């Protein structure tokens, strides 16, 4: 019995030993497995971190884009609101439209003293202030012919007034809107036209009073009468540029109706009437196709008493007429000047007088205010003003 029992015990011991060794192997396997999983987790965390950073950066970029779009949308809404509000504002306040037409508050060049035309190279020019009405003062520059340059040095206003009686013609120049009679292109024109002619430039840059079509026409009439009272039988020509052509035709029509016409009318860059000019002006491009454009923008001009109807005035003018216009004029389109000529040429009032249209090719680059640069201009003026027989040419 003992012999049989002993092997059993030994077998149990071997089994226990085997069990213990298998337990140790399992534990070791479990430890290895745990370390492997831990390593995998660590490795996985390291790879996830860059992805998270990239996601965060993308979110920030999208946020910035969204904020930029929101700001841009606000700006667009503000611009759109202003675009829609302006027509209503002009309709409710017609005076705004009147200011935009005259632009008398734009007094460029800013840093010149209009009392000293010599500062602009006009050493044979005197500054006057005339008073057509009690509360109205208008400034005038009187430039004597260039041949009197030396004699004019240091002379006072009385000498200049007496000089109007000399045997030289006189041009009454009516400039366009904005700026003053001291504008660069205007000064250059005085130099060209004053070769053998007096030039009296009527300007509103430092004048006192509120501009209006009626008031400006009355001021021009006052200056014309002032010149005629001192010039005797010397020829007096009226020259209007741009908006000044509206004042010029108003003035000359009135002079013809009272049977004291000027010796000639010169229109540089003229339009037909202020409504057609406003519709053609480059500033109107953004509203030209706006619903109710005429009602919003053009009717307020008429209700303000502003017409400048050159096309109607020329039918009542009886004196020689010269029209100068550059084909590349961006402010007053060339076709408006051509249209005005086509209205004036067959008019009965001009049947005994010369009507001439002189275009300047776009390649010359004279645009709206540089016709004075034309080397042909003195000859054109000399030939036109030297003839008074009926002649229609272009």
DSSP notation for 251-308: HHHHHHHTT---SEEEEES--S-HHHHHHHSGGGGGGTTSTTHIIIIIHHHHHTT---
Active site residues: 242, 329, 368
Which CATH number characterizes residue 377's domain?
3.40.50.1820
Q: Could you tell me the CA-to-CA distances from 102 to 98, 107, 138 in Å, in that order?
A: 6, 11, 15
Lookup: tokens for 256: 């013809």
Pairing of β 198-208 and β 236-241? unpaired
Q: For the ranges 90-94, 177-181, 265-269, 367-371, which has the lowest average pLDDT?
A: 90-94
In a domain, 38, yes or no: no
**Secondary structure class of 81 (helix, strand, coil):** helix
Question: Does 338 map to a domain?
Answer: yes
Mean pLDDT of 115-129: 91
Q: Flag whether 287 is in a domain.
A: yes
Identify the band that residue 152 occupies on the pLDDT scale cut at 50, 70 and 90.
Answer: very high
Q: Which pLDDT score, from 0 to 100, does residue 220 have?
A: 95
pLDDT digits (tens, 9 = 90+) for 309-336: 999 999 999 999 999 999 999 999 999 9
Task: Provide the token pair at 189.
Answer: 């024109």
Distance between CA atoms of residues 15 and 63, nearest Å: 70
Residue 393 lies in a domain: no
Does any domain span residue 66? no
pLDDT band at 15 (very low <50, low <70, confident <90, very high): very low
E-strand ranges in 81-124 read none
Lowest-pLDDT range of 89-103, 212-226, 247-261: 89-103
Number of domains in the chain: 1
For residue 140, the surrounding DSSP H or E stretch is strand 136-143
CB 281 within 8 A of CB 254: no
- Tell me how far apart the alpha carbons of residues 206 and 115 are, in angstroms, rounded to a whole number: 10
Residue 301 is assigned to a structural domain of this protein: no
Are 286 and 258 within 8 A, CB to CB?
no
Q: What does the DSSP assignment read for 20-66?
A: HHHHHHHHHHHHHHHHHHHHHHHHHHHHHHHHHHHHHHHHHHHHHHH
23 occurs within a structural domain: no
Six token digits for residue 115: 């009392």
Q: How far apart are CA 150 and CA 161, in angstroms?
A: 17
**DSSP label at 370?**
-
pLDDT at residue 43 greater than cutoff 60: no
Q: How far is CA 369 from CA 114, 126, 189, 250, 386, in A?
A: 21, 24, 10, 21, 25
Q: Is it true that the peptide bond before 109 is cis, omega within 30 degrees of 0?
A: yes
| Rounded CA separation 312/344 (Å) | 9
Weakest mean pLDDT among 88-102, 149-163, 299-313, 360-374 = 88-102
Range of the domain at 271: 117-292+306-385
Within a domain: 48: no
Q: What is the DSSP letter of 162?
A: H
Q: Considering the entire predicted model, what is its pTM?
A: 0.80
């Amino acid at each position: 019995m003992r012999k049989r029992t002993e092997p059993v015990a030994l077998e149990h011991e071997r089994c226990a030993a085997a069990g213990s060794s298998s337990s140790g192997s399992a534990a070791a396997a479990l430890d290895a497995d745990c370390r492997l999983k831990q390593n995998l987790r660590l490795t996985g965390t390291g790879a996830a971190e860059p992805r998270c950073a990239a996601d965060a950066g993308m979110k920030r970029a999208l946020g910035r884009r969204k904020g930029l779009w929101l700001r841009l949308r606000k700006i667009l809404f503000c611009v759109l609101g202003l675009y829609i509000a302006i027509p209503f504002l002009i309709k409710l306040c017609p005076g705004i439209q009147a200011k935009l037409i005259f632009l008398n508050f734009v007094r460029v060049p800013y840093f010149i003293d209009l009392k000293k035309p010599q500062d602009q190279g006009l050493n044979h020019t005197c500054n006057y202030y005339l008073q057509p009405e009690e509360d109205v003062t208008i400034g005038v520059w009187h430039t004597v012919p260039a041949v009197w340059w030396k004699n004019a040095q240091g002379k006072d206003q009385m000498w200049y007034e007496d000089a109007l009686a000399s045997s030289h013609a006189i041009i009454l120049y009516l400039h366009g809107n904005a700026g003053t009679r001291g504008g660069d292109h205007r000064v250059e024109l005085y130099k060209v036209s004053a070769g053998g002619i007096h030039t009296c430039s009527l300007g509103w840059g430092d004048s006192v009073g509120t501009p209006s079509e009626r008031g400006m026409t009355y001021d021009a009439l006052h200056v014309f009468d002032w010149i005629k009272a001192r010039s005797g039988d010397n020829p007096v020509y009226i020259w209007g540029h741009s908006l000044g052509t509206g004042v010029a035709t108003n003035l000359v029509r009135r002079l013809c109706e009272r049977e004291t016409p000027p010796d000639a009318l010169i229109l540089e860059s003229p339009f037909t009437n202020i409504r057609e000019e406003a519709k053609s002006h480059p500033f109107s491009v953004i509203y030209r196709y706006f619903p109710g454009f005429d009602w919003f923008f053009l009717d307020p001009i008429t209700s303000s008493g502003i017409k400048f109807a050159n096309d109607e005035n020329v039918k009542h003018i009886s004196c020689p007429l010269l029209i100068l216009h550059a084909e590349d004029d961006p402010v007053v389109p060339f076709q408006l000047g051509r249209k005005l000529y086509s209205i004036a040429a067959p008019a009965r009032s001009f049947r005994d007088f010369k009507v001439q249209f002189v275009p300047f090719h776009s390649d010359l680059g004279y645009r709206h205010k540089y016709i004075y640069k034309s080397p042909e201009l003195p000859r054109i003026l000399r030939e036109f003003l030297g003839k008074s027989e009926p002649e229609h040419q272009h």
